Structures are given as structure tokens and as C-alpha cells.
Amino acid sequence: MDPVFAFPIALPPAGSRRLLRALHEQLRGAILDGRLKPGLRLPATRALAAAFGISRNTAVAAYDLLLGEGYVQSRAGSGIYVADVVPQRAERRTTKTDPTGDKRLAAFWRDPPPGPSPTSQPASQARFQLGVPDPQRFPFDVWRRLAARALRTASRGPASYNDAQGQPALREAIARHVSFARAVSCGGDDVVVTTGAQQAFDLVARILVTPGRTVVAMENPGYPPARTAFAAAGAAFAPVRVDAEGLVVESIPANARIVYVTPSHQFPLGVALSTRRRTALLEFAQRSGAVVVEDDYDGEFRYGDRPLDALQTLDRADCVFYVGTFSKSLFPAIRLGFVVAPAWARPALVAAKRCADWHCATHAQDTLAAFIAEGHLVRHVRRMRGIYAQRRQTLLDALTTDFAPWLTVLPASAGLHLSTLARKPADVAKLAQHARELGIGTLAAYHAGKGAPAGLVFGFGAIDEAKIGPALAALRRALGAGR
């Protein structure tokens, strides 16, 4: 017989005068310490008696005592339920003896860096949220059909773990897509599928960073989660400034062995790495034996200009790790990304992936493979590029006219956000709370060290074009009121 409770109950032998008392006390104790939760339906007295080899009268008497004490309640025609009268226990407190954290933790994790804010804000409060595409326009009906087909196929196949490098069909689909969309030269064997771009950074850091020795040069301001991945692996961080041509290659320290860069649409300033700087960066990597981590997070969304060649396309020394994600082109919850890795690094990268989580969810991979292969991704990106272009233009027009006395818009021809520099830093400080309510970011949040630029970052991926004007009008009134 299956146990009626998920915890043991020890009762004295049948006939003992302590039988009822023991049963009552152990049930009451389970209620008090939370093993029996409020609202839980208790087993019927017949089932309880049969499970413990006691008379039904003893089981009824135990429940009667609990009813009298208020620990359970009877519902007519339904049964006996644990009452919601026991106060919740306070969370266990850990006494801190050292402000730097418990010494049992690795040094980096004693004071973990803050993560990104949850995106569960009401739409009215997260209008200009950074890095979020429009989920309302995604063809979920197509996705559901392909997902159902992938499940049917999985149900007919063997039950086993799959390739840590990723499903072959998805890797081939990714290779064809990036070859077409971004002129990235690769085949399916060059691709490693990851759980989003963040895992790609983590895996690259695992195989390339020697703790305490490896120096990673990163854009400043730049993308904090990537910085965290390398820092957690034990790398030293070398911030490198960004100007109108992107990363200032001349400022990269000579001892840097990894350079992280967002060349297509610098995060968060939005500028593109110039052709001259791209050539200089690859020459630096080849000369110094460094590698380049190219984060092409939203390069598919371009407006007007022909995109510059990806660094991976120009690479002749096998030094570029090209990282892509489907969180921007599709939706964030998909949690699938990829690395196009040099051949010399691929075995280590796959082994690190296997160590981390073995492989990404097979069902999601198979669905995405079909979504790409059947042309749905290309059609969706093309359609969204037009929608985002209209939103971008509306936002750009408003910022360059209504906000000209306070903000200067930084040029950008790609992506899902626009950045601005404040003419007076005090204006940004004055708007901080109001900007947060609208989901607007600040440039200072992405800057390491002193001298952070004062400015605002406006995402336009998840906001309807019709709502841009009213939202900016509220921000404009806040600025005007403070003049």
C-alpha cells in the first residue's frame, strides 16, 4: 500500500494506551512545522486506519482532537483539511560574522553582482524597456504547430541524451541563416548551440580564462552580464573606451588576451565599429595571440545602411568567436543562442557545454530548426524590421525635436534601442525615477569605474508606435517642470 503521508509516523504496538496520543501528536507536529500545508486534504479515516493497522475509531478520535484544537477543519461532503491558522515561520536567519560573505563560498560569489530586473512590470510601466522584442507580433500559431510536430517525432524516437553541441538540424539551419543574413562563413559543424548568449559567454570564459592571469578587454560602457561571466571565471577586466567609431582599439592593453565587442550595434551607445577599427582589432588579435568575442545580439535589425561585414567574416587567423541569440529576433523565453567557434576551440567548448548542462532542450531545438528551415524566421525578421523601423523613426523624431534642449541622440542604424547624451548631467539625475517607471535605462548603469556618461537609453522593441508620443510627453513635462 502506498504511504498516506510523505513522512514517517512511528506508532506504538496495537493495544497500547499511547496509540491515540502518539498519532495525534505526530499529526499536530507535522501541521506545526509545515510538512502538512494549509488547505491540504487529509486521508479519509478508513485509509488512515488501514495504512497504520489501527482501528477506525482511533483514526476518528485523532482527527476529532485536531478539529477541537483548530488545526484541521471539516468540509461537508468533502473531507478533513489542514486549517490555515498556524502562523508562518519566519525565514531562517544566517548570522553574518564577516561583511564579505561566508568563506565557504568562492570569493567572487560572496558578493554576487545584481542581475537584470525582472520584466514582469505592467506594460504601462515598461514601455521603453531595453532589449525586449514585441511578443505580440510573433507567429505563435506557427510555433505551436511546429512544436507539436517535434513532440510527435520525439515520442517515436529513442529515449536518450543528445549531442552537447546541439541538434544537427538546428546547427545546419543556424549556419545557413547567419551565412545569408550576416555573411558569416560557417557550416553546421562550426556551430555550438547554447542556452542563450549568456551561456555562450560563460562557456567561452571557462575554456579561455586562466584565473588571475587572463586579461579581458571590454567596451566601456558595455554589457554587464558578459562582464560578469568573465569576472566569475577569474579574469581581470580592462575597460576600453568607446567613441563615434566604436571600440578604441588603440586603447586595448597589450596584455589583453580576450576582447569582447559588440561591433554591429555597440551596447549601449549604438554606434557601429568602423571598417578601420575592425581591421585594426583583428590585426591586434593576430599579433598578440588574443581572441575576439563578437556579440551580434541584434544585428539583424538594420535601417537603411548596408551592414558592415561581421568580424568573423573578415577573420583569417581563426581568432573570432561569433555569438548570436534568438532572444531579440524571436522572443526572450526561447533561451537559445549559439557560438560559431574556431575549429581549435570547438572540442573544448562542447566539453564545457556538456559539463554545464549536457545539452539544450531538444524539443525547443527541433522546433526552432523547423522554424528556420521553413523560412518563418526570415519572414518574421523582415516583417519586424519594417515595424521596428517605424517605431524607431517616431522615437527619433520626438527626441530630436521635443528633447533637443536636454538630450542629444547618438547615431545608430541598427538594433532595438536608441541612446542619448544629456547636455547637463543634472537633467538625467532629475529624471531618474520617472525614467525607471517608463522602463528607460541610463548609460551610467552600463559603465564601469568613474566618468560615466550621463544619458538615457530608450528601447522601442516592445512599445506600440501609438504609445511612444504620449509616453514621451509625460517625460517632457517632467523635464519642463524642472527648468
pLDDT score at 1? 46
pLDDT score at 101? 72
Task: Give the closest residue to 456 by CA, choosing from 469, 443, 467.
Answer: 443
Task: Give the closest residue to 408 by CA, choosing from 454, 468, 452.
Answer: 454
Q: Would you say residue 433 has pLDDT above 80?
A: no
Q: What is the pLDDT of residues 47-58, one digit of tens each?
A: 999 999 899 999
pLDDT score at 483? 44
Query: Are the C-beta atoms of residues 240 and 252 closer than 8 Å to each other?
Result: yes
**Dmax (CA) of the chain:** 92
Mean pLDDT estimate for the chain: 90
Q: What is the mean pLDDT of residues 154-179?
A: 92
Query: Are the C-beta atoms of residues 303 and 332 closer than 8 Å to each other?
Result: no
Q: What is the pLDDT of residues 117-153, one digit of tens each?
A: 544 444 445 589 888 999 999 999 999 999 999 999 9
Share of the chain above pLDDT 70, in %: 93
pLDDT score at 360? 95
Q: Would you say residue 481 has pLDDT above 70?
A: no
Q: Would you say residue 292 has pLDDT above 70?
A: yes
pLDDT band at 15; cut points 50, 70, 90 = confident
- Comparing 163-177, 265-279, 294-308, the range with the smallest average pLDDT is 294-308
pLDDT score at 480? 67
The strand pairing partners of 339, in sequence order, are 192, 323
Neighbouring C-alpha atoms within 13 Å toward the C-beta of 429? 5
- The secondary structure of the chain, three-state, reads CCCCCCCCCCCCCCCCCCHHHHHHHHHHHHHHCCCCCCCCECCCHHHHHHHHCCCHHHHHHHHHHHHHHCCEEEECCCEEEECCCCCCCCCCCCCCCCCCCCCCCCHHHHCCCCCCCCCCCCHHHCCCCCCCCCHHHCCHHHHHHHHHHHHHHHHHCCCCCCCCCCCHHHHHHHHHHHHHHHCCCCCHHHEEEECHHHHHHHHHHHHHCCCCCCEEEEEECCCHHHHHHHHHCCCEEEEEEEECCEECHHHCCCCEEEEEECCCCCCCCCCCCCHHHHHHHHHHHHHHCCEEEEECCCCCCECCCCCCCCHHHHCCCCCEEEEEECCCCCCHHHCCEEEECCCCCHHHHHHHHHHHHCCCCHHHHHHHHHHHHCCHHHHHHHHHHHHHHHHHHHHHHHHHHHCCCCEEECCCCECCEEEEEECCHHHHHHHHHHHHHCCCEEHHHHCCCCCCCCEEEEECCCCCHHHHHHHHHHHHHHHHHCC
Task: Give the closest residue to 134 by CA, choosing from 342, 381, 352, 426.
Answer: 381
Q: What is the pLDDT of residues 175-223, one digit of tens each?
A: 999 999 888 989 999 999 999 999 999 999 999 999 999 999 999 999 9
Query: Are the C-beta atoms of residues 236 and 218 closer than 8 Å to each other?
Result: no
Q: Would you say residue 60 has pLDDT above 70?
A: yes
- Comparing 85-94, 338-347, 404-413, 452-461, the range with the smallest average pLDDT is 85-94
Domains, the chain: 1-94 (1.10.10.10), 123-129+379-481 (3.90.1150.10), 158-375 (3.40.640.10)
CA dihedral 300, 304, 308, 310 (to 10 degrees): 0
pLDDT score at 88? 56
pLDDT score at 76? 87
Is residue 168 exposed (0-12), middle (13-18) or buried (19+ Cβ within 10 Å)?
A: middle
Q: How far is CA 448 from CA 437, 438, 439, in A?
A: 24, 24, 21
Q: What is the pLDDT of residues 73-85, one digit of tens each?
A: 999 889 999 998 7
pLDDT score at 123? 46
